[in-house]
Amino acid sequence: MSDYRAALHCKARHRAREVFWGVHDRDAYRCPSCGGRGPFEVHHRNGDWLDNRRQNLIGVCHACHRRAHRERNTDARLAEWKSELAGLQEGA
């Protein structure tokens, strides 16, 4: 990752935290996935880390955040594999 991109990513993450915690009470918040009490990370629901609209942000614990990204990557790979398979079947 370039220095510029890393700086942009850091700034976007900071802004996401500001937006999310500006509307949620950090002390009363619980992870919506597991009910844990934190520490929390702000997750971008649509995967676009530059999209810091409130409706795109959700606070989740570290374990649930990792799981969300692992599942998204798995789903994306599965969709890509299915697309490649469909293309091979069409060409057969």
Note the pLDDT tens digit of each residue in 77-87.
767 766 777 77
| Domain of residue 23, residue span | 3-91
**Cα(29)–Cα(60) distance, rounded to whole angstroms?**
10
How far apart CA 79 and CA 73 sit, in angstroms, is 10
pLDDT of residue 1: 62
30-76 pLDDT, tens per residue?
Answer: 999 999 998 999 999 888 888 999 999 999 999 999 998 888 777 77
What is the structure's pLDDT at 89?
67
Query: Rounded to whole angstroms, how far apart are CA atoms 22 and 53?
Result: 12
Total structural domains within the chain: 1
Q: Residue by residue, what is the 3-state secondary structure of 13-51?
A: HHHHHHHHHCCCCCCCCCCCCCCCCCCEEEEECCCCCCC
**Cβ count within 10 A of residue 30:** 13
pLDDT value at position 57? 92
Q: Which tens digits make up the pLDDT trace of 4-26?
A: 888 887 888 888 889 988 888 98
